[in-house]
Amino acid sequence: MYFDQSPQRWDGTIFPVEVNASFLQLADKEYLVAVARDITQKQVAHERISRG
């Protein structure tokens, strides 16, 4: 599962993240493992490229 999200930092600013999540079964128990990555710099670079 993959999705984008815009959470809020402690100082109140909003920042873009991409979240990768998957289910994991271990010792007869099920877990949801999620990793969130700040993609602010990725978006800035994309905007610069788009502007030419």
Give pLDDT tens digits for 6-49: 888 899 999 899 999 999 999 999 999 999 999 999 999 999 99
N-terminal to C-terminal alpha carbon distance within the chain: 32
* Burial class (CB within 10 angstroms; exposed 0-12, middle 13-18, buried 19+) of 17: middle
8 near 14, Cβ under 8 Å?
Answer: yes
Tell me the two tokens of residue 38: 């700040």
pLDDT of residue 17: 92
More confident residue, 6 or 3: 6
| CATH architecture, range 2-51 | 2-Layer Sandwich (3.30)
On the question of pLDDT at 52 being above 80, the answer is no
Tell me the two tokens of residue 3: 């999705």
For the chain, which residues make up each domain, given as ranges? 2-51
pTM above 0.85, yes or no: no
pLDDT of residue 5: 79
pLDDT of residue 1: 72
18 near 2, Cβ under 8 Å?
Answer: yes
